[in-house]
Amino acid sequence: MSNIAFKMMALVGIPIRNMFMPPNKMLAEIEIKPGSHVLDFGCGPGSFTTMIAEKVGPSGIIYALDINPLAVGMVERKARKKGLSNIRTIRSNCVTSLPDDCLDYAICFDVFHCLDNHQEVLNELHRVLKPRGTMYV
């Protein structure tokens, strides 16, 4: 996605999506526990990332992955502004460089349809999720 397209999505597309699918309501449907390690795959500007960071608390970690450097920068700025030290950003289209079996949850909200490497992404998510880990799409 070009920088212009990302900016348009962040300014217009995501706010419209959030009206119909509010992130807080979507996250209320899933049980992310304090202390969990979570991957927000295709995090975009961080609509879910900061809320998850608050849910997992200081003993948890959220990894925010996106291919777009503007997205990663936005998440880093939001984390600093909110004082969230448990957010780690990853700039990638798939490879997380995380160890095997290290995540409790992986979320891939409103992004899977944009990918052209579905099997590669599924393989990577399977690799990094713990045996009883959960993926939400």
pLDDT tens, position by position, 68-106: 898 899 999 999 999 999 999 999 988 899 999 999 999
- pLDDT band for position 14 (cuts 50, 70, 90): low
Task: Compute the distance between CA of residue 41 and CA of residue 122 in angstroms, rounded to an integer.
Answer: 11
* Residue, of 25 and 73, whose pLDDT is higher: 73
- How many helices and strands (H and E) does the chain possess? 6, 5
Q: What is the mean pLDDT of the chain?
A: 85
Burial 117-134 (b: 16+ CB within 10 A, else e): eeeebbebbeebbeeebb
For the chain, what are the domain ranges? Answer: 33-136
Determine the pLDDT at residue 37: 98
**Residue 88 CA neighbour count, 13 Å, CB half:** 13
Determine the pLDDT at residue 6: 57
pTM over 0.85, yes/no: no
Instruction: Please provide the CATH number assigned to the domain covering 33-136.
Output: 3.40.50.150
Determine the pLDDT at residue 23: 66
- pLDDT band for position 134 (cuts 50, 70, 90): very high
Q: Which residues pair with 103 in a beta bridge?
A: 129
Determine the pLDDT at residue 57: 97
Q: What percent of the chain has pLDDT over 90?
A: 53
